[in-house]
């Protein structure tokens, strides 16, 4: 297990290019199960999670190919297998995205339940409700979801997919994918509006699916007999972009994040202005403005919400910024009320944070000091690296395999900006 040594207090400067969105590329690759032709994703991000998805697809019989520039092709010429094993699913919750396409293409899917995760229970009841609405029978057996289409295949239906915490991103994706091969029209109400859902919809359209309402909470899908192959350019990763912007802001440096979609990060840009940390942006770039190391942001509250609200996947990184604010800020988690694993680790670095239920109260301090800290999940790890960039001394971030799941070679990209960060094999 590798760790990062992060030398704090170095200003950053320069440009960093954002990779394709992890949470869009995973379902797009799963959509390859809907066709016997090839689906190609140019320049997929070189992430552990992408390799895991290719392993899952390979275990189902797909031919997978990764080119020199990381472009990925997947082809399921024959009938795919129907069972996605615990061995793969436990490595990554995103593997649950194979359920919908497998069920639609083969009439049967057996996919291991993903289990709990460090930031709480993450149910998939909404996914299953959607499949049942399409006529499937669904049961849980020996830790697996076993879903079977009725004789004659899935049939279109109306279904509401909201949850008490907003709409389910992968739930919407799963049901949307299943509906593309169902007979007749499916109407999904309460669909998630995240850009990753829209991106998957665009990919399905280029495979021949008929989908209306992308980006809205109501999707209408007219099922097709079969879909074709396609080449699909995945959207830039808004969470990776936001993380790099915050690296620039925290260090008071000018960092230009290029190849991103500022319109997907309107809420972050707004909050940063509110915090007295201006960022400029153009059509496909965002740039933090230099104000010098030690510049303290104004305390600024955020509440995580479904898109276009503040993303839960940037909550930990925002907290890293607020630990240095000139006053008290309040962070509220409305998506995953227990997603606060980074809190105790930030406290080890001198942050003053208290938690009350789904809310964290952050009393900004003048500076953080380095400490050995342990990464517990992907975004929490990113927050610890960000904190390390400004802490006094050398922060030792353990278990960085979490960060490798979602950020492509983050240490070399931060080093290229001037950060003092290196990977050490443990």
Q: Is the alpha carbon torsion for 41, 44, 49, 54 positive or negative? A: positive
C-alpha to C-alpha distance for 260 and 280, rounded to whole angstroms? 13
Q: Which of 67, 79, 87, 125 binds ligand EPU (CB under 6 A)?
A: 125
Nearest distance, CB of residue 114 and ligand EPU, angstroms: 8
Nearest distance, CB of residue 93 and ligand EPU, angstroms: 6
406 near ligand EPU (CB under 6 A): yes
Token pair of 135 as six digits: 């006529």
Of the pair 161, 187, the CB lying nearest ligand EPU is at 161
376 near ligand EPU (CB under 6 A): no
* 253-288 as b/e: b if 16+ CB within 10 A: bbbbbbebbbebbebbbebbeebebebebeeebbbb
165 near ligand EPU (CB under 6 A): yes
The CA angle 329-360-401, to the nearest 5 degrees, is 110
Nearest distance, CB of residue 124 and ligand EPU, angstroms: 5
Task: Write out the DSSP string of 99-113.
Answer: HHHHHHHHSEEEEE-
Token pair of 234 as six digits: 């995945």
User: Binders of ligand EPU among 86-115, rule CB under 6 A?
Assistant: 93-94
Residue 330: count other Cβ atoms within 10 Å of its Cβ: 15
Nearest distance, CB of residue 68 and ligand EPU, angstroms: 26
Q: Give helix then strand counts, H and E, for the chain.
A: 14, 26
122 near ligand EPU (CB under 6 A): yes
> Angle, nearest 10°, between helix axes 195-206 and 169-179?
20
Residue 125: count other Cβ atoms within 10 Å of its Cβ: 10
The residues pairing with 236 across neighbouring beta strands, listed in sequence order, are 20
Q: What does the radius of gyration of the chain's CA atoms come to, in whole angstroms?
A: 21
252 near ligand EPU (CB under 6 A): no
195 near ligand EPU (CB under 6 A): no
Q: Which of 170, 253, 332, 395 binds ligand EPU (CB under 6 A)?
A: 170
Nearest distance, CB of residue 275 and ligand EPU, angstroms: 22
User: Binders of ligand EPU among 7-36, rule CB under 6 A?
Assistant: 23, 26
355 near ligand EPU (CB under 6 A): no
Burial class (CB in 10 A: 0-12, 13-18, 19+), 215: middle
The residues pairing with 155 across neighbouring beta strands, listed in sequence order, are 183
Residue 117 annotated among the catalytic residues of the structure: yes
166 near ligand EPU (CB under 6 A): yes
Stretch that binds ligand EPU, among 39-47, 60-68, 118-126, 216-224 (CB under 6 A): 118-126
169 near ligand EPU (CB under 6 A): yes
Q: Catalytic residue, from 20, 97, 117, 277: name it.
A: 117
Of the pair 161, 269, the CB lying nearest ligand EPU is at 161
Task: Catalogue the active-site residues.
Answer: 117
Binding residues for ligand EPU, per CB under 6 A? Answer: 23, 26, 93-94, 122-127, 163, 165-166, 168-171, 192, 312-313, 335-336, 378-379, 406
């Amino acid at each position: 297990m590798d760790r990062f040594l992060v030398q704090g207090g170095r200003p950053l400067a320069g440009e960093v290019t954002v990779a394709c969105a992890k949470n869009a590329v995973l379902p797009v690759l799963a959509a390859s199960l809907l066709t016997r032709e090839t689906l190609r994703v140019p320049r997929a991000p070189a992430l552990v999670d992408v390799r895991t998805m290719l392993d899952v697809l390979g275990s189902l019989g797909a031919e997978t190919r990764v080119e020199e520039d990381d472009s990925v092709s997947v082809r399921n010429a024959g009938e795919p297998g129907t069972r996605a094993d615990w061995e793969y699913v436990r490595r990554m919750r995103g593997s649950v995205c194979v359920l919908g396409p497998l069920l639609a293409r083969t009439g049967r899917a057996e996919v291991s339940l993903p289990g709990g995760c460090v930031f709480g229970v993450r149910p998939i009841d909404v996914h299953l409700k959607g499949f049942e609405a399409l006529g499937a029978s669904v049961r849980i057996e020996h830790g697996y979801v076993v879903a079977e289409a009725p004789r004659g295949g899935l049939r279109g239906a109306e279904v509401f997919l909201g949850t008490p915490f907003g709409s389910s991103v992968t739930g919407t994706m799963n049901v949307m994918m299943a509906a593309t091969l169902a007979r007749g029209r499916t109407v999904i109400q309460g669909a998630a509006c995240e850009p990753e859902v829209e991106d998957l919809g665009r990919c399905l359209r280029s495979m021949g699916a008929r989908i209306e309402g992308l980006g809205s909470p109501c999707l209408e899908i007219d099922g097709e007999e079969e879909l074709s192959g396609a080449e699909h350019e995945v959207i830039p990763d808004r969470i990776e972009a936001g993380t790099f912007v915050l690296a620039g802001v925290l260090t008071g440096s000018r960092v230009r994040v290029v190849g991103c979609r500022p319109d997907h990060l309107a809420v972050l840009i707004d909050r940063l202005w509110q915090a007295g940390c201006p960022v400029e942006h153009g059509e496909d770039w965002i740039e933090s403005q230099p104000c010098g190391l030690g510049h303290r942001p104004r305390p600024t509250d955020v509440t995580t919400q479904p898109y276009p609200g503040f993303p839960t996947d940037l909550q930990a990184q925002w907290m890293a910024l607020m630990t240095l604010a000139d006053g008290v800020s309040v962070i509220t988690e409305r998506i995953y009320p227990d997603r606060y694993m980074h809190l105790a680790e930030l406290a080890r670095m001198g942050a003053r944070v208290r938690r009350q239920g789904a809310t964290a109260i952050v009393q900004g301090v003048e500076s953080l000091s380095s400490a050995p800290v342990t990464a517990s999940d992907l975004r929490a790890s990113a927050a610890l690296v960000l904190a390390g960039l400004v802490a006094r001394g050398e922060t030792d971030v353990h278990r960085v395999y979490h960060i490798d799941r979602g950020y492509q070679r983050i240490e070399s990209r931060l080093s290229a900006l001037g950060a003092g960060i290196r990977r050490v094999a443990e």
